[in-house]
Amino acid sequence: MCSPARAGWLTGRYQQRFGHEHNLPPAYREANGLPLAETTLPQVLKTAGDRTIALGKWHLGYAPKFHPLPFLTGKAGGRPHQTLLGKSDQVGAVRDGDLKLVIGYQTNGVPELSELASDPSETTNLAASRTDEVKRLQKLFDDWGRDFPAPLWGGQGTEGTANE
C-alpha cells in the first residue's frame, strides 16, 4: 500500500484534501508526513474504548514527530502496549505487564509463565506457583481469540468452506 493510500485509509479522507496525494520523497524533511492535525481511525477507536496496535510498515513521515511509536526512538519511556497477544499455528502467547504466558504444542500443553522484569530470558517457569496468574492470562487469550473465524484453507474440507 502506498503512502497516500495508507494516509487516506487511516484518516477516512481523500488524501488531496490534506495534501498527502503523493508518495513521500526518499529524502528526509521535517515537513514531509501525514499532517499531525489529521484525526486517524485508531484515535477515534481508542476514544470509543477500543484497543489499538501498530502493525506493518509506516511510511507516513520520516521526522520523529510523525513516528507512530516514540518508544522506538528512545524518546519515551515505558511500554507501547500494556497487553500484547499473539497466535501462530498452535502456539499462543499473551503478555500483560511483566508477565508472559506461552501455551500450545511448543510447551507440550503445559503453560509457561515468565516474569519478564526479573527473568528477561524466560528461563524460569512460574506457572505451577502462580496458577491464578496463569488462569487470568489464559482468560485474556481465550477472550481475544473467541471471535476469530475458522480458516477456510488447509484441507479442512468441510461443507460451506472454500475447500468444498
Give Cα 18 distance to the centre of its chain: 27
pLDDT of residue 73: 43
Mean pLDDT rounded to a whole number for the chain = 75
CATH architecture of 83-145: 2-Layer Sandwich (3.30)
CA 40 to chain centre: 16
Three cell numbers at 45? Answer: 477507536
SS3 110: coil
Closest by CA to 102, choosing from 117, 87, 120, 89, is: 87
List, for residues 79-109, the tens digit of each pLDDT value: 556 777 777 767 888 888 889 999 886 667 7
134 within 8 A of 101, measured Cβ to Cβ: yes
Joined grid coordinates for residue 147: 471471535
pLDDT of residue 39: 84
Average confidence (pLDDT) over 9-38:
78
Residue 133: pLDDT over 90: yes
User: Where in the chain are the domains?
Assistant: 3-73, 83-145
| pTM exceeds 0.75 | no
